[in-house]
Amino acid sequence: MYKYHRPDSTLDVRFEFKANQVRKTAPLGTPDAKADHDGYVCVRLTIGDNKFGPFSTSIKTFYEIWKNRQSDPIPSDSQELIKALGNYQGRIESAHETLLRMEQPIDGQAIMNVVRSDNPSGKLITLARVYDEFMAARRDMVEDSRRKRTIDQISSATYETYPKRWTLIQGYLVHIKRSQFPVRGVMYSFATDLKEWLNKQRKPDGDRYNPATINKVISLLKMLMGYALSKGYIGFNPVRDFACRGGSVANPKPLSKEQLDDLETCPLPHLLRHICDSWLVAGELCLHYADYMNLPNIKFITKNGIEFIQHPRAKQQGSNLKQTVNVTERAKRLIEKWGGVKGLYYRHSSVFSKALKEIAEEADLRDEDGNLIGLQFGQGRDSGLTQRVIDGANGLQLSAIAGWSNPAYANRYVGNPLGVVGEFVRNIPKQITPTPSTDQSKTFIRVHKTA
């Protein structure tokens, strides 16, 4: 039995199992000709002193699974049933609260009408429909100039991330076989289940989705529900307070200068050598993937005999923020090797991702614990920025090199504390071992206090 109480009204929800009626012909059931259920779940509602039902929930199951909800331990299939019942209960409670807020007459049928149609008017509002409307509304809010952008506007780069996030939500809806999931059916538990499902999924390259990606998906869900609330499709946002930490974990993984030297000189097949050298150039110039892909258009400047690149970063499109980086000897050497920046390797990030892991294996690149390093494109930038710190760059200089608006961002990209501190120690004047003084005038005199 599931109960839900309000000060001004009470709602009692009871689920029951109803066995299928015996038929002369066996059900087709699953493809192997076995029945996929032997009954279904119905629900009875008690509102105040009035009883209503039973109503069908369309949840089909086996009696054995239904019965095992009370067993210890609870089998996995019974746990899934409990979760389905909990979700359905949430929809009933949401419908009940909606009718109360609308000051509508409430009986069992009225509640079930809302649950089944997802709207008192009978018009089905799905999460997919909310997404389509949300995207249409957001399209009119795109402003790429950071100087002109208001608090309600977004960049085109941000707008383009929404379909990628939605694809993962769609994948979950397909997984639970509810592609037309009603927006009123989204409860706090929906976000929890979505996040748990995402944690188990893998990208096309076989890697798991990182926490930052999952948080962005949850963030979109929260935005969709906020939009649904603003449109009057729901009475409250059930996922408003769902924990969703933004940004990625600060976990820089720079390579040492010796490791970079090894990568430049180790024998590799021609294509991998081309990719490796291009990645090394990106790292030496402290470039993100998006900025590296624009390298042929980036301006090279020579001042006082020193060569620099200077450009507005892709992530800061429309702002006055520029990235100014000295061109290292390694970068010059490799750019010249491939006939200029246009001769470097430019392909989709997934190609780099796969190739860099192959390069690490070919070079037998290992960390201090002896584990093979799974090279990532961003490690080049981490390495370039960390080397600048080792070479003595202060916070302001590093911000200009990285293209940051805040020096505090350094902890996301700068690692190798032993290398950084080690260089500092090497620059400290050598301490002289102290010896006893022979100057009697400086002899320490103990003063005794007399009574």
DSSP notation for 25-68: S----STTS--S-SEEEEEEEEETTEEEEEEEEEEEE-HHHHHG
Low-confidence ranges of the chain (pLDDT < 50): 1-8, 23-31, 119-122, 247-249, 318, 425
pLDDT number for residue 445: 52
**Is 204 exposed, middle or buried, given 0-12, 13-18 or 19+ CB atoms closer than 10 A?**
exposed
For residue 45, give Cα distances in angstroms to 1, 97, 111, 130, 137: 11, 14, 9, 30, 39
pLDDT number for residue 306: 92
pLDDT number for residue 368: 84
Domain 257-426 has CATH 3.40.50.1110: no
pLDDT number for residue 71: 84
Q: What is the DSSP letter of 170?
A: H
Number of Cβ within a 10 Å radius of residue 131 = 23
How far is residue 118's CA from residue 95's CA, in Å, rounded to a whole number? 8
**Full-model pTM:** 0.47
CA dihedral (201, 204, 208, 212) in degrees, to 10, reads -100
pLDDT number for residue 5: 42
Number of Cβ within a 10 Å radius of residue 213 = 15
**Is 403 exposed, middle or buried, given 0-12, 13-18 or 19+ CB atoms closer than 10 A?**
buried
Distance of alpha carbon 163 from its chain centroid, rounded?
A: 14
50-61: strand order across its sheet: 2-5, 10-19, 39-47, 50-61
pLDDT number for residue 203: 87
pLDDT number for residue 62: 93
pLDDT number for residue 17: 93
Q: Residue 324: beta bridge partners? A: 310
pLDDT number for residue 448: 57
